[in-house]
Amino acid sequence: MMPTELNFQCSLCDFKSPYDYFGSKPPFANAVVLLEKAYVLKDPFVPEGRHITVGSHCSVCKRAVCAGQDCSLFYTKRFCLPCVKKHFNEFPQEIQQELEKKGS
Ligand SMILES: [Zn+2]
Ligand SMILES: [Zn+2]
């Protein structure tokens, strides 16, 4: 039987990527505990313990978002950009300035 390939698809952009694991403790990355449950890909170019976070779920609306700066923000939790905009005033000033600099 062929193993089913797992694929992550961002709900905000066209980003698509296979992933090896979903959760916060990738078994192939030694002693790594992520701050969130995320879609993780084994880094094929590094022999051991390296991983790439391809995406996660927004902690507010639960949609799948990639880790790209245009789609999500990680501030103690993952937020998709539409939710960041909705709750803009609840973020600390440094994050607000950071977002304004990007001029979206
Ligand atoms: Zn995206
Ligand atoms: Zn959201």
Write the pLDDT tens digit of every residue in 4-40. 789 999 999 999 999 999 999 998 887 889 999 999 9
* Residue 81 CA to ligand 1 centre (angstroms): 10
Contacts of residue 65, Cβ cutoff 8 Å, sequence gap at least 6: 10, 11, 12, 55, 56, 57, 58, 71, 72, 78, 80, 81
- Are the CB atoms for 72 and 65 separated by under 8 Å? yes
* Residue 59 CA to ligand 2 centre (angstroms): 7
pLDDT band at 3 (very low <50, low <70, confident <90, very high): low
* Residue 90 CA to ligand 1 centre (angstroms): 23
* Residue 87 CA to ligand 2 centre (angstroms): 10
Ligand with the closest atom to the CA of 55 = 1
What are the residue boundaries of the structural domains of the chain, listed by start?
Answer: 7-102
pLDDT band at 103 (very low <50, low <70, confident <90, very high): low
35 torsion bin: left (phi>0), alpha (psi -120 to 50), beta (else): alpha
